Structures are given as structure tokens and as C-alpha cells.
Amino acid sequence: MTCCEGWTSCNGICLLILLLIGIVLNAIPLGIDLVKQDKGFQNPISCYEWLFPGIIGAGLMVIPATTMSLAARKRGCCNNKTGMFLSSLLNVITVLGAVYCMLVSLKALSEGPLICDSPGNSTATCEFSLKNLTDFHPESFNLQWFFNDSCVPPTSSPNSAINKMGSHWRIPNSDSEADRQRIFHFSVFLSLFLVGVLELLFGLSQIVIGFLGCLCGVSRQRSQVV
């Protein structure tokens, strides 16, 4: 097995692990939303879990490239120039899915859980649109909702709120429902963001190694010894 086939096989295993982690991470808050309340979708933790960043972006969109890459382990359809070229093309979908997962996760981390807006939220307040997702400004990204004593926006003037920020920062604990949702929201979407970053790196590396395998060739399958 050449280095191209070996790296392709390694990429396939890593992507398989990452896509399973992404699906599980996305499924956990969805399951909590469905079983926590008597009425479905009542007071969900976040709007962005319903954009399925882990299930669609880090999960389904990674399956084609993962399947093709794993074929190199058994010296199957990837064991030729055409297979290596297809593995590169399919990893473009992986890169797009990883970027989608990262964007949704960053947006969720920037805005915080729904309980930080007002108690008793439901998915009726969620805006599921591409414009809302792409309207992200890195300079406005902050985690004040996580470190502030209370993540609910204050009703006082903006100047007094800014003056109180430094003296009310703390790491939330599980003393209240709001703190538990903040910790859970932060943990899930930070993990999904890291999954997206890793999938992006593996996808880009496979695009490069796939083209190298297509140009330089791969090893021939060993003939069966009688």
C-alpha cells in the first residue's frame, strides 16, 4: 500500500469517528428538547440545534467521502487513479459540511442558549434562514452570556451594564436551570465546532493526497497466489 492509500485509509477512519461524534452531539440536545417538556419543542436549549450542524453538516455530508476513503483500506475502489480522484471530489462535500457545522456552532456560541433571551422560549422565536446564519461578524463575537453572573440581558442602561460586566464574571455551575443550560449549550456547540475544524482539515488533506495519488498512481493489487 502506497502512502497515498495509507493516508486515505487513515482519513476514512478519522472521518468516520468524527461524523459519529457529530451526530451524537447534535442528537443529545434534540432528544432533551423532545422528552423534557410535556409539549414538544417547548423551551428548547437553542435554535441552532434544529439546523442540524452535527447531523447534516458533520454527519450526512461526510458519509460519501468516508465510504470512498475506507475502500482504500481493503485496496478496493480507491486502489486506482480514478478512485483517488473521486475521493478528492467527494471531500469537497466534506469541506462544505464542515464549514456549515462551524458556522452554525459559532453563531450558537455567539448568541447563547434561548434561556438567555427570556424564560419560556420556544422554537417560534427562532429564525431559520440562511441570512441569519451568514450574518456573523467576528468582531462582535463574545461569550459574555457564559461568563456573566446572569446571561439574561439587563433592563438598565447600556452604560451601567458595561460597568458591571467586569465585576460579575464567573464560570456557571449547576445551581440553577439557566446555568445548566448555559454549560450544556457551550459544551455541545464548542465540541461541534472542534469536530467541524478537524473534518475540514482531514477533508482538505484528502483533497491534496487524492490528487497526488491520481497524478502519481497507486500500487497494484497483488495477484492471488495459487
| pLDDT tens, residue by residue, 31-53 | 776 665 545 445 567 888 889 99
Please report where in the chains the cell 497483488 appears, as a residue.
222
Question: Is the CB of residue 146 less than 8 Å from the CB of residue 182?
Answer: yes
Mean pLDDT of 177-188: 83
Distance CA 62, CA 83 (A): 17
Of 208 and 218, the structure prediction assigns the larger pLDDT to 208
List pLDDT tens digits, range 75-86: 655 557 777 788
Q: Is the whole model's pTM more than 0.85, yes or no?
A: no
Least confident of 2-16, 36-50, 97-111: 36-50
Of 123 and 205, the structure prediction assigns the larger pLDDT to 205
pLDDT given for residue 226 in this prediction: 32
List pLDDT tens digits, range 50-77: 899 999 999 999 999 998 888 776 665 5
Question: Is the CB of residue 51 less than 8 Å from the CB of residue 133?
Answer: yes
Q: Please calculate the CA angle 144-170-44 and round it to the nearest 5 degrees.
A: 55
pLDDT given for residue 160 in this prediction: 42
Would the pLDDT of 221 be above 70? no
